[in-house]
Amino acid sequence: MLADMRWIAVLVALLIAGTAAAQPVQFDLKGDVPVGKTPMLKVMASEAVTGLVLDLSRDDGKAFKARHPGLRKGQSVVLPIGDGAPGKMAYTGSLSGRLASSKAAWTENVAFDTIVRAPLQIGYDADHLDLDKRTLQFRPSRPPVAAEIEVIGEDGTKIGQGAATYPPSAAGDWLAITWTQPASKRADVRPEVRVMKLVLRVEASDGTATRVELIPWSVTIDHQDVEFAVDSATIEPAEEAKLDASLAKITEIVASANTIMPLRLYVAGHTDTVGAGATNRTLSRARAKAIATYFRTHGLKLPISIAGFGEDVPKVTTPDRTDERKNRRADYVLGPATGAPPFKGPYLRTRADWKPLK
């Protein structure tokens, strides 16, 4: 298992002669911080001291100095270390001051390491996921050393897992992780359970880790097309049985998957190539709205979004200005309630304005 990201208590190495009891101060280092924060050294006075100076040199050659006028016995102060630059750093130097009681000067040599952890960001898109080959490619913002993946099915069960380690790699490379899906021994688990969610955990070389949830799940509803008359968005009575059958399929899928993740139905309307492009866009959107409204008024409760693709995604390729009834239709896809509409292929090459059904 990968080590969880956590705060690490770092002990200061005091390079001094004599016993610890002879020293007027004690130390506590907060040396492991996220980016945007600065490591800190807490100085606690065992007896009253004045004129504190923390004088440090970093392994990259930079020098830092912090001052404090003094502490009474039992008081403490937090002094900054460095400038918050991300990465691992080593410091050497000294903390000096005077004893308030005798004015005697004292110096303690110090040496310690710090780390400022930059956040680890993970890039992902649908084009880099192959569910058939059970492979996900992801793009980390910094080179990772290891990753784990857990695969959740649409019935809520874990159906696969995988792990990978990586050699030193430039940030921004696409890296792959695969998973296995053992054959289920449970009679109540269907072998065709679809992947609902991927949980990816990635760890960088400095121990920083991040966890992301990816939702590749979507279902294109297999259905008989409702075919519209030329220049019409009216659902003819003879076509309603097709919609009723489609609604039954949608309802069945929602019943099993909606408890795992909120869902949305996407309805994409289309036209044939008769008419102007802009007119067909408007007409196809009206057809999508007619079908979505039918589903809503017949009991479908989940959110519905609609878009019109005009003549740009035909089912049957035809010359321009061709009356083709099979292209006067709509497609239905179930997907996550949030995020991008789960359409691929020619849909991605066609701009569409998805709007929720009011």
What type of residue is 43? V
Are 91 and 60 in contact by the 8 Å Cβ rule? The answer is: no
How many Å apart are CA 162 and CA 202, to the nearest integer? 12
- β-pair partners for 331: 268
The encoded tokens of residue 76 equal 């403490």
Print pLDDT tens along the chain (358 aa): 333 333 333 333 333 333 334 589 999 999 999 888 999 999 999 999 999 999 999 999 999 999 999 999 999 999 999 999 988 899 999 999 999 999 999 999 999 999 998 888 898 877 789 988 999 999 998 889 999 999 998 878 899 999 999 987 666 789 999 999 876 555 454 456 788 889 999 998 877 889 998 888 889 999 999 988 889 999 999 999 999 999 999 999 998 787 778 899 999 999 999 999 899 999 999 999 999 999 999 999 999 999 999 999 999 999 999 999 899 999 999 999 988 888 877 887 777 889 999 8
Element (H, E) at 92: strand 87-99
What is the pTM for the complete model shown?
A: 0.59
**What letters, b where the CB count within 10 A reaches 16 and e where it falls short, cover 280-302?**
bbebbbbbbbbbbbbbbeeebeb
Of 59, 11, 53, the C-alpha closest to 32 is 11
| Polymer length of the chain | 358
